[in-house]
Structure 1
Amino acid sequence: MCLLIITSIMVNGPILAKEQANQRQIMPIEEVQKGMAGIGKTVVSGTEVEEFKVKVLGVLKNKGIKRGLILVRVSGDLIEETGGIAAGMSGSPVYINNKLIGAIGYGWQMTDHKVGLVTPIQDMLDIWKLDQTSKQETAYLSDPSKPIKITDNKVAYPVQAPLLVNGLDGQALNYLTDELASYNLKPIKTGGVMRSKEKTSNKLVPGSAIAVQLVRGDIDVSAIGTLTYKEGNRILGFGHRFMAAGDSNYFLSSAYIHQMIKNLEMPFKLGTPSDLKGIITQDRSAGIGGKVGTFPKVVPLKVTVNDKDLNRTREITVQLIRNEDLIGSLAGSVVYQAINQTIDRRGGGTAQVKIEIMVNNLEENIIQRKNIFYSKQDVASVALNDFLHGLTLISQNPFQKLNLIDIKLDISVKEEPQVALIEEVNFLQKKVKPGEKVDFEVKLRPYREEPITKKYSFKMPKDIEAGVANITLISGQEANFTAQQEVEPKKIEYGYGKNENFKNLEELIDSFKEQNINSDLVMRIMPNYKGEAIPVNGEGVPPKSQQDSRNYANAEKEQSQEQEVNTEYEESFATDYILEGSIDTEIEIKAKEDNQSQSKT
C-alpha cells in the first residue's frame, strides 16, 4: 500500500504541474514563434483597460542575459493615440491565442516607439518563488540591467515611467532628484492623489494601471506601471526592475491615468495613485511581485513648522516605506518641503529644530535632540543637518538592525539672524589651582547689535598639570566639526566603518544626543606639557645609522607622547545665539605641591 501511494504521487506530480500551467493559461517562450499575432492590454485614460494589437517579430535568446526576450511590434488605434509603447505601459500583458506570453518590458528611445521587447511570463512567475526563500537559501534571477543591447546599434531601455511626485516643488524636488539620481529615476511634478468614486473602477485585473509608492499622504512619490498577472492575492507587474531592491517593502496602489504625454525620447503615462491595495515584496530584473490585502511596514512622519514672522503654522503628515537606503532621501525631501511651504520664501534665517525618533530594540525607544541653525542662503537645507545625521546613524549603524516606528519634527523659523560673534574673554582669576572654581566673562556681539557680556564659571579639572594651559573658545558647531575631523574612521569593517570610540549601539546613539548644540560656547583646555629639547647646530644628534635603528623603537613612544599632548578638557556653556569666531588665550595653573605647602603654612 505504501509503495502504491508513493508511485501515485510520482506519477501525478508532473500531471499536476501541467494542470497548473493549463489553469494559468500561459505560453512558454519556447512555443512563441515569429509571425504570431495577439493582443496586449493597458490603460491610457482613467481606469478602463483597453486592447492593442501585437505581432511577434522574433525571439531573442540569451542576448547577454540569462533569459530570452520576445521582439514585438504593436499597432492599432490605441497605439496611434499613445504614440507607441509608452513609459508606464511596462507590465502590459501580451496574449497569443488567449495565452499569456509575458509583459511589455522594454522599448527604444528616440526611434520607432512601436517596437518593443516582451519579458517572458515564466521569468516573472519565478519572482514569486523568492517570497518563499528563507534567509539560509539563495535563489537567483537573471542579473538586473539598465539598457539591453540587442545589436551594436540597437539598445532597448526599460519602459519605466518617471517618478511622479505630488506635494514637492522647487528646492525640495531638486533635493529628491539629486538623491535618487543613482537609481536612474527622474522625479516629475504632478497633481494630487486620485480618490476613486466608483468602487469597481479601480479593481485590479491584468492590464490595470498600478502605482508603486514610496511616500503616501500629504506628499506622494510613486511610479506608474501596469499589472501583468494576478493569481489569488498575488500579483506581477512592470516586466522590468523598479529600483532593483530585491526584497522590497513598497506600497501597491491602483492608479488613475490622466493623460498620455507624447515625447520624442519615449511617450509616458501621466497618472496618480488612488486606493492602497497591498504591498510590493519583490523588485527584480524580470519585474515586481506583491500581494493584495497585505500592507507594507511604514514609518509615519509628522513635520510641524511655525513661521514666527508670519505667525502661522503648517503641518505635513506622510507615511514612508521602511527602507534603510531610501529613508533619509525621502524624509529629507518631506522636511525640506514643509519648511519652504510654510515660510513661502527663499533665503536665509534661523531655525530651531526639535527631533523625536522612535525606534525599537533600545532601552530608551525615543531619541530626542534639539538644536538651532542659521543660514544666509537656505535655512531649510541647514535645518536638515541633525535630522539626516540621526537617521544615518540609526539605519546604517554596524551593531544591530533598528526599525523606525515614528518620526516627529517641530521646527520654528524666523528671518532674523540669531547669531553672535565671540569677541573677548576675561578670566577673573589670573592663577588657579586644580579643582578650583574659575569665573570668567565673555563678550558677544549679536548681529547688528551692541556687544553683550555673559558671565560663566566652571571648575578646573583636579588632575590638570601645573603650568600655563592653553584655552580655546569656539562655538558648539565648530567643536562638533573639529571633533569629527580628529577621528580617523576604520576603513575595512562593516562597509560603513566602525569608529573605535563607540563600543556598542548605546554609545553611538548617546554621542548623537549629547553632541554640542550650535548655540553652545565650548571651552577647550589644553594642559601644559614638557617637550624634549631640540638639538641646535647638530649638537647631540646621533649618527644616521643609529637614527635608523631607533626609528622603529621610537615610533610607539612618539605616538604615546602625541596622545598625551592631545589630551584636553572640554566644557560647554549655553547661550542664546549661534556663535561664530574663536578666541585663544592662556591661564596659569598652580602646582599641587605649592597648594600643599600653602595649606600647611
Structure 2
Amino acid sequence: MVKLCRQCRLALLIFLLMLPMSLVWAAPEIMPVENIKVGMQGIGKTVVSGTKLEEFGVEVLGIMKNKGPSGDLILVRTSGDVIDRTGGIAQGMSGSPVYIDGKLVGAVAYGWSLTDHKVGMVTPIGDMLKLWDMPDNYNDTMQFMKEVPDFEPMTTPLMVSGFSEHALTMLQDKLKPFNLVPQEVGEAPSDVVFSPLEPGSAVGLELVRGDVSVGALGTVTYVEDNKVLAFGHPFLKKGNIGYFMTNAYVFSTVNGLENSFKVGTMGEAVGVINQDRGAGIAGYLSRYPTIIPIRIIVKDNDTGQTQDAAVQVVKDEQLSSILSATTMFNVIDKAMDRVGPGTAKVSFEISGQNMPGGIITRENMFYSPASIGELAVGEFLEAMTMLTGNPYNPVNLMDVKVHVSVSEERRTATIVEAQTKTPSVKPGENVEIGVKIKPFRGEPIQRIVSFTVPKDQPEGPLTLEVRGGGMVPLIQLLAKNQGMDEGLLLLGNPKPKNQEFADVVKEFMERDRNNEIVVEVLDMGMENLFGNAALGKDKNNSKKQEKDIVENTVSLKTDIKAINAKDKKKQGKVKNSITTDYIIDGDTQVVVNVVKDPVKK
C-alpha cells in the first residue's frame, strides 16, 4: 500500500512537471473593488534588479470613483525596503500586482510626479480581466487616453538597444507625437536565465527585435493558463494590436526627482500582446504576431566597411514606417561612423500581399552637404508610409530588402547647356539633344538624350525643357516665384480626384530620379500664361509683366474646358530621360521646329 502511494505521488509529480508553469500556479482569489476598505494592508510584487521577484507593502487610502480610463481607481501608499531603494513607485513598475489577504486586487498603474512618489493608483483587476473578452480583429485605430485628474500613468519606458546616438535622436524625434521617449540601454547578460512569466515578473512589449530592439518595460499583473495581463494602464491605447511579448531583464532602478524609473531590456519573445486598452495590456503566451522582416545592407565605399542588419518590425499603420526608416538610418550611421556630407545610392524592394503588382522597387541617388544618412532614408520612409497607411485596403508586407552604398565624395553635376543636332524634325521622329553637364570640381562632359516628338504634335516651334530629375519643373518654379496659387497649374492637367491604389504606386515607382537628365515638352499654354517676362525676356517692365500674367490667367481659365479635353487625349506628359552617375541640378530649354517635311540643306 505504501509502495502504491509512492508510485501515485511520483506519477502526480511527473504530471505536474510536464505542465506549463502557468498551469501549476494556483490562481489567486479576486477581491472586487467594492470589498476594499480604507486602511486595508497588503503586498505588491515587482522586479527592481535582474529577474528576482521582490515584495513591497501597500496600504489603501481610498477609492477614487470613475477616475480611471476604465472605471474606479484605488488610492494606495507603498512602503518597505523595495520602495525605499527605488525612491517610490518607479516607471516600469506598471502592472505590479497588489494582494490583500492573499486576494488579487489589481495593478499599480498611476502616480504623481514632483511629489510623494510613494503614493499611487491601482487599476482594479476586474477591469483588467475584461481585456481577455475583447475581440481580436487587429484593429489599428488610434485612440486617446482619458486623463486621470492630477495623476499621470506611470510612464512606460521605451528601451532601445543597438542604436547609435544619432539614430536614437531621430527615433526620439519621430516618436514625439506618440509621447514615447526612447532611452538607450544595453543587452541582457548572456548567462541570464529567464523564468516563466508570473505575477510581478518584468515583461516587455517589443516593437522591433533582431539586431536592434525597441520595446517598453512593465510588470506582469496576472497569468491564467496561457493568458497574461500587465501594465495596469495603456501603452498607446490602440485597442486590438499585434506586438511581441517578451520576458525582460532589469539592470537597475534609478531614483529621480520627478519620477524614479527602471532601466532594463527585452529578453526572449514568449508570446503576443493583442490588447492595448484603458485597463492595461493583455496577450497570449506561445503565440506570436505577424511581422515585417527587413534586411538592410550598407557599404561605405571610402572605408570598405559593410554593415548588415536583420530585424523584425511589428505591423502597425502608424509605427511600422517610422521604426523601419529609423532602423535603416541606424545601419547607415554605424557603417559610416561619421556625420556630414556625402553621396548615397539607395535601392529597396518591398514585397507584400494586397498591394498593386505585389512588389515595389525603387533606386535613387542623394547628396547632402550636412547629413547624407538622414536624406538617404527619405524615399524609403515615404514608400513604407504609402503602403502601411494607404486609404484603400490593408497591405500585408512580407519582405523588405534595402541596399545602400555611401561615400563622402560629392557626386553632383550642373546642366550647362543643351543643343539639338537637328533644327527641324517631323512628328513621330527622334531628335538627339546634346546636354553638357559640369561635375562638381570636374571638367564638363557631354551626354546625349534622345527624344521622340509626339505624332500629333502640330507644326511650329516646340519648346523642350531639359532638367535634372530632382529639379522642380520650370512652370511650377515660375508660379512660385510669381506668388501664384499652385492650384492654377493644375487647371490644364488636374490630378484625378479618385486615384486608384495602383496609380499611386505606379507614380511613385516611375517618379524622376535625382541622377537622371529629363527632357520633356514645356507646356506652351502654361508658358504663355507667364508671358515673355516670366521667361526672362522682358525684365525691365514689371508692371507690364503683372498685367500680362493677369490677362493670360483669365484667358486660361476661360478656355479650361478645351484644355482639359485636349489633355485627356495626351494620356500623360511626353518625356524621356537617361541615367547618369551624378545627381543632376539645373535646367535649360531648347527649341526645335516641327515640320511636315524637314528642310533640306
Q: TM-score range by the shorter chain?
A: 0.7 to 0.9
Which residue, out of 506, 518, 521, partners 1:522?
Answer: 518
Pair 1:175–1:527, CA change in 2 (3 A): closer
Please name the residue that 2:372 is paired with.
379
Please name the residue that 1:76 is paired with.
80
Matched, 1:49 2:45: no
Aligned-residue offset at 1:264: 0.6
Please name the residue that 1:495 is paired with.
none
Matched, 1:29 2:33: yes
Aligned-residue offset at 1:409: 0.5
> Aligned equivalents of 2:280 and 2:272: distance in 1?
14
Aligned-residue offset at 1:107: 0.4
Which residue, out of 567, 579, 583, partners 1:574?
Answer: 579
Which residue, out of 95, 99, 103, partners 2:103?
Answer: 99
Q: Is the 8 A contact 1:196 1:274 kept in 2?
A: no
> Aligned equivalents of 2:283 and 2:476: distance in 1?
46
> Aligned equivalents of 2:308 and 2:403: distance in 1?
9
Please name the residue that 1:145 is paired with.
145
Q: Is the 8 A contact 1:87 1:269 kept in 2?
A: yes
Matched, 1:279 2:272: yes
When the two structures are superposed, what TM-score results if normalisation uses the length of structure 2? 0.83
Pair 1:458–1:176, CA change in 2 (3 A): same
Matched, 1:476 2:469: yes
- Structure 1 residues without counterparts, runs of 5 or longer: 1-21, 150-154, 490-497, 535-550
Aligned-residue offset at 1:86: 0.3
SS at 2:391 equivalent: coil
Q: Is the 8 A contact 2:138 2:242 kept in 1?
A: no
Counterpart residue type for residue 179 of structure 1: K
Aligned-residue offset at 1:388: 1.2
1:38-71 CA deviation, whole Å, 9 max, x = no partner? 1101011111111100000000102375501000
When the two structures are superposed, what TM-score results if normalisation uses the length of structure 1? 0.83
Q: Is the 8 A contact 1:479 1:522 kept in 2?
A: no
Pair 1:41–1:362, CA change in 2 (3 A): same
> Aligned equivalents of 1:73 and 1:528: distance in 2?
77
Please list, as runs of the form range in 1=range in 2, the aligned pairs for 1:46-445 lying within 5 A after superposition: 46-63=50-67, 67-131=71-135, 145=145, 147-149=147-149, 155-195=150-190, 197-198=192-193, 201-362=194-355, 364-445=357-438
Aligned-residue offset at 1:241: 0.5
Please list, as runs of the form range in 1=range in 2, the aligned pairs for 1:554-573 lying within 5 A after superposition: 557-561=559-563, 564=566, 568-573=573-578
SS at 1:445 equivalent: strand
Q: Is the 8 A contact 2:156 2:235 kept in 1?
A: no
Q: Is the 8 A contact 1:299 1:322 kept in 2?
A: yes
> Aligned equivalents of 1:336 and 1:371: distance in 2?
16
Q: Which moved more, 1:94-103 or 1:573-582?
A: 573-582
SS at 1:465 equivalent: coil
Aligned-residue offset at 1:424: 0.6
> Aligned equivalents of 1:482 and 1:278: distance in 2?
56
Aligned-residue offset at 1:508: 2.2
Q: Is the 8 A contact 1:210 1:225 kept in 2?
A: yes
Aligned-residue offset at 1:474: 1.2
SS at 2:354 equivalent: coil
> Aligned equivalents of 1:224 and 1:531: distance in 2?
63
> Aligned equivalents of 1:404 and 1:554: distance in 2?
45
- Structure 2 residues without counterparts, runs of 5 or longer: 1-25, 489-493, 532-552
Counterpart residue type for residue 519 of structure 1: N
Pair 1:502–1:163, CA change in 2 (3 A): same
> Aligned equivalents of 1:575 and 1:66: distance in 2?
60
Please name the residue that 1:504 is paired with.
500
Q: Is the 8 A contact 1:278 1:290 kept in 2?
A: yes
Q: Which moved more, 1:438-447 or 1:552-561?
A: 552-561
Pair 1:299–1:531, CA change in 2 (3 A): closer
1:139-163 CA deviation, whole Å, 9 max, x = no partner? x9xx8536411xxxxx111112321
Q: Which moved more, 1:50-59 or 1:515-524?
A: 515-524
Pair 1:295–1:195, CA change in 2 (3 A): farther
Matched, 1:39 2:43: yes
Aligned-residue offset at 1:552: 12
Q: Is the 8 A contact 1:89 1:104 kept in 2?
A: yes
Pair 1:302–1:565, CA change in 2 (3 A): closer
> Aligned equivalents of 2:331 and 2:176: distance in 1?
22
SS at 1:440 equivalent: strand
Please name the residue that 1:19 is paired with.
none
> Aligned equivalents of 2:391 and 2:74: distance in 1?
44
Please name the residue that 2:6 is paired with.
none
Aligned-residue offset at 1:366: 2.8
Q: Is the 8 A contact 2:69 2:147 kept in 1?
A: no
> Aligned equivalents of 2:110 and 2:225: distance in 1?
27
Q: Which moved more, 1:73-82 or 1:509-518?
A: 509-518
1:373-432 CA deviation, whole Å, 9 max, x = no partner? 111111111111221121122112222211111111111111101110000111111222
SS at 2:560 equivalent: helix
Pair 1:133–1:317, CA change in 2 (3 A): closer
Pair 1:555–1:584, CA change in 2 (3 A): closer
Aligned-residue offset at 1:576: 1.9
Pair 1:374–1:502, CA change in 2 (3 A): farther
Q: Is the 8 A contact 1:164 1:222 kept in 2?
A: yes
> Aligned equivalents of 2:169 and 2:566: distance in 1?
47
Q: Is the 8 A contact 1:195 1:275 kept in 2?
A: no
Pair 1:168–1:481, CA change in 2 (3 A): farther
Count of residues in correspondence between the two structures: 536
Please name the residue that 1:588 is paired with.
593
Counterpart residue type for residue 185 of structure 1: L
Q: Is the 8 A contact 2:70 2:127 kept in 1?
A: no
Q: Is the 8 A contact 1:305 1:313 kept in 2?
A: yes
SS at 1:398 equivalent: coil
Q: Is the 8 A contact 1:480 1:515 kept in 2?
A: no
Aligned-residue offset at 1:81: 0.6
> Aligned equivalents of 1:40 and 1:272: distance in 2?
22
Q: Is the 8 A contact 1:469 1:588 kept in 2?
A: yes
Pair 1:147–1:132, CA change in 2 (3 A): closer
Q: Which moved more, 1:188-197 or 1:116-125?
A: 188-197
Please name the residue that 1:547 is paired with.
none
Aligned-residue offset at 1:178: 1.2
SS at 2:67 equivalent: coil
Aligned-residue offset at 1:565: 8.5
Q: Is the 8 A contact 1:526 1:569 kept in 2?
A: no
1:266-300 CA deviation, whole Å, 9 max, x = no partner? 00001111111101000011100000000111111
Aligned-residue offset at 1:78: 0.9
Q: Is the 8 A contact 2:420 2:590 kept in 1?
A: no
Q: Is the 8 A contact 2:46 2:96 kept in 1?
A: yes
> Aligned equivalents of 1:316 and 1:125: distance in 2?
39
Counterpart residue type for residue 220 of structure 1: S
> Aligned equivalents of 1:347 and 1:31: distance in 2?
63
1:287-341 CA deviation, whole Å, 9 max, x = no partner? 0000000011111111100111101211011111111210111011111010010
Counterpart residue type for residue 176 of structure 1: L
Counterpart residue type for residue 156 of structure 2: A
Q: Which moved more, 1:38-47 or 1:566-575?
A: 566-575
> Aligned equivalents of 2:49 and 2:413: distance in 1?
58
Q: Is the 8 A contact 1:71 1:117 kept in 2?
A: yes
Pair 1:101–1:557, CA change in 2 (3 A): same
SS at 2:471 equivalent: helix
Pair 1:240–1:481, CA change in 2 (3 A): farther
